[in-house]
């Protein structure tokens, strides 16, 4: 039970240590991981329960009471409670390394809601397994104790596929109440800072755990009192064990609380790039993405010589769905102070996908989409507008407009490649480079990202005026080949 979440903790260990890492987990990404961490633990907890009931009188049992007789409630209730507590705490202990290591580098708060939601399920599964073991009274109880939680986890994956709210508004609370009942939560929604698990859902989930523990204890008691030769006696304990939790879960699934809640309006943390009218804003809990995008944008800003973009109104990058409003009356989900700070930054606001793709952020779901928006905002080559429309029809570069179009078509992807190279990743080569061939086009295509970067910085003003001819390209880049 501890090994599986601990193994995922090892996988996460060290993630986010460097600000340059593109894989740094956010607080919300950790919520996603904690949700997945308990799935195998659920199966093992149910098997542990069945084994404990089978070995109830053995000194090897970790949950056996120090007596064999006594009242039925005490005889069966104590091991059920002890085993449920052990299973729940084992899951929490296995998750602890991931929580400590990840939160060191994200600035988020401890995901108490996600942890409590995960801790609830192994406790319930142990109780179910213990009751199955008491009813069957043999090692064969391990079979249904394996299949039952596995089926419930598989059903969770099938039923709780991501459901993203449509449109430009996220409701204050959403998510399927079925997620409170099933082992796996609906992790496709809410994987963003500024969103949190509904505390009402956590409370209801633990109430359901109490129902399962009580039903399991009652099933064990019925087994002790009604056992007789034949199988007719088994109906009552199985009915209590399976129907009572199912009925309670059904009521919650029909009218229970939503799983996710939106945070209150917040004041974003914003940072600007020196020399370029480019700013990045994030939710206060999303320090990892803010650091990452600041590193991205510093690399992007290096393509523009000093004072080359003075006339631009600039861009402000808003990271994630935390900025999406909760009603049509709002522009962003920000406090008055936050709106004032955003207004003070000026420029065009674009909302970038960080974890969950929505209609608002889908347009900027890749760094190449962001760099393309930056090129359109900062590079004004009106003289190449027609050539840009025909960049994939142009067979040769024959004038300044075609050269500018050919370079500008490559620029967003080259920027993206340079960003990743500066962070230690290997680029995959430029793509979307137009169809022209010939000496000038070949030199531009064959230039490394570093050479292309230096060429654009030297000639940005000429490219904007379509003053760079194919001969100029050959004379400039040809010296290096």
Query: What is the reported pLDDT for 154?
Result: 85
Please count the CA atoms within 13 angstroms of the CA of 314 that sit on its side-chain side: 21
Query: What is the reported pLDDT for 356?
Result: 67
Instruction: Please give the full DSSP string across 170-217, using - where no structure is assigned.
Output: --SEES-THHHHSSS--TTS--STTEEE-HHHHHHHHHHHHHHHHHHH
Query: What is the reported pLDDT for 29?
Result: 63
d(CA 159, CA 179): 9
Give the tokens for residue 437.
């061939």
End-to-end CA distance of the chain: give it in Å, rounded.
61
Query: What is the reported pLDDT for 191?
Result: 52
Query: What is the reported pLDDT for 190?
Result: 46
Q: Is 386 exposed, middle or buried (0-12, 13-18, 19+ CB in 10 A)?
A: exposed
Query: What is the reported pLDDT for 255?
Result: 87
How much is the pTM?
0.78
d(CA 352, CA 277): 17
Q: Is 466 left (phi over 0), alpha (psi -120 to 50) or beta?
A: left
Question: Please, are residues 60 and 6 in contact by the beta-carbon 8 Å criterion?
Answer: no
Nearest in space to 367 (alpha carbons), one of 357, 387, 353: 353
d(CA 174, CA 324): 14
Query: What is the reported pLDDT for 329?
Result: 86
Owner of token pair 């079925």: 178
Query: What is the reported pLDDT for 187?
Result: 54
d(CA 215, CA 307): 73
Give the tokens for residue 226.
């009604």
The single-letter DSSP state of residue 391 is: T
Q: How far apart, in Å, are the Cα atoms of 393 and each of 62, 220, 398, 435, 436?
A: 75, 77, 13, 6, 8
Instruction: Please give the full DSSP string across 77-98, using - where no structure is assigned.
Output: HHHHHHHHHHHHHHHHHHHHHH
Sequence-distant (≥ 6) Cβ neighbours of residue 291 within 8 angstroms: 19, 24
Please count the CA atoms within 13 angstroms of the CA of 344 that sit on its side-chain side: 11
Query: What is the reported pLDDT for 246?
Result: 93
Phi, psi at 260, each rounded to 5°: -115, 150
Q: How many CB atoms lie within 10 A of CB 371?
A: 24
The domain ranges of the chain are 3-262, 269-378, 382-480
Which helix (H) or strand (E) is 4 found in, with range?
helix 3-12
Question: Please, are residues 258 and 198 in contact by the beta-carbon 8 Å criterion?
Answer: yes
Owner of token pair 């090897």: 60
Give the tokens for residue 205.
């989930």
Q: What is the pLDDT along the chain (481 residues), one digit of tens a residue?
A: 788 887 777 665 555 444 445 555 556 666 666 777 788 889 999 999 999 888 876 667 777 765 556 677 888 888 999 999 999 999 998 888 777 776 766 666 777 888 888 899 999 999 999 999 988 888 888 999 999 999 988 888 777 766 666 677 878 887 788 888 988 766 544 456 777 788 899 999 999 999 999 999 999 988 877 766 766 778 888 899 999 999 999 999 998 898 888 778 999 999 999 888 999 999 987 887 888 899 999 999 999 987 787 777 889 999 988 898 888 888 899 999 999 999 999 889 999 987 767 777 778 888 889 999 999 999 888 998 888 888 888 888 889 999 998 999 999 999 999 988 877 665 555 555 667 788 888 888 888 899 999 999 999 999 999 999 999 989 888 766 5
């Amino acid at each position: 039970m501890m090994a599986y979440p601990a193994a995922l903790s090892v996988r996460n260990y060290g993630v986010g240590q460097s600000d340059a890492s593109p894989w740094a987990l956010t607080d919300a990404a950790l919520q996603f991981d904690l949700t997945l961490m308990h799935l195998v633990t659920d199966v093992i907890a149910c098997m542990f329960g069945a084994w404990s009931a089978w070995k109830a009188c053995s000194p090897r049992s970790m949950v056996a009471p120090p007596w064999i007789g006594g009242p039925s409630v005490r005889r069966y209730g104590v091991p059920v409670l002890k085993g449920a507590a052990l299973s729940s705490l084992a899951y929490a202990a296995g998750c602890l390394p991931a929580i400590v290591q990840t939160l060191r580098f994200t600035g988020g708060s401890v995901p108490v809601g996600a942890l409590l939601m995960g801790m609830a399920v192994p406790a319930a599964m142990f109780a179910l397994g213990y009751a199955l073991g008491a009813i069957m009274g043999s090692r064969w109880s391990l079979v249904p104790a394996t299949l039952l939680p596995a089926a419930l986890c598989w059903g969770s994956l099938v039923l709780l596929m991501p459901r993203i709210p449509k449109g430009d508004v996220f409701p204050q609370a959403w998510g399927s109440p079925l997620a409170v009942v099933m082992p796996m939560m609906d992790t496709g929604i809410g994987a963003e800072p500024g969103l949190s698990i509904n505390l009402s859902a956590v409370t209801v989930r633990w109430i359901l755990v109490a129902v399962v523990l009580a039903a399991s204890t009652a099933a064990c008691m019925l087994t002790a009192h009604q056992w007789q030769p034949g199988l007719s006696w088994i109906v009552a304990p199985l009915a209590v064990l399976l129907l009572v939790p199912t009925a309670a879960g059904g009521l919650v699934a029909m009218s229970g609380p939503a799983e996710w809640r939106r945070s209150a309006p917040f004041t974003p943390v914003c940072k600007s790039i020196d020399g370029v009218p480019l700013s990045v804003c994030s939710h206060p809990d999303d320090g990892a993405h803010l650091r990452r995008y600041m590193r991205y944008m510093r690399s992007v800003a290096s393509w523009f010589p000093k004072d080359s973009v003075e006339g631009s109104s600039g861009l402000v990058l808003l990271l994630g769905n935390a900025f999406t409003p909760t009603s049509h009356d709002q522009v962003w989900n920000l406090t008055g102070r936050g709106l004032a700070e955003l207004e003070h930054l000026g420029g065009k606001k674009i909302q970038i996908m960080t974890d969950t793709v929505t209609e608002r952020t889908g347009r900027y779901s890749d760094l190449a989409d962001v760099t393309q928006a930056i090129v359109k905002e900062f590079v004004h080559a009106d003289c190449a507008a027609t050539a840009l429309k025909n960049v994939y029809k142009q067979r040769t570069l024959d004038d300044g407009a075609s050269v500018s179009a050919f370079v500008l078509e490559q620029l967003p992807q080259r920027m993206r490649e340079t960003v990743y190279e500066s962070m230690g990743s290997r680029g995959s080569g430029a793509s979307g480079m137009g169809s022209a061939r010939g000496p000038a086009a070949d030199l531009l295509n064959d230039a490394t990202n570093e050479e292309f970067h230096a060429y654009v910085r030297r000639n940005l003003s000429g490219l904007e005026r379509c003053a760079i001819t194919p001969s100029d390209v050959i004379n400039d880049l040809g010296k290096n080949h």
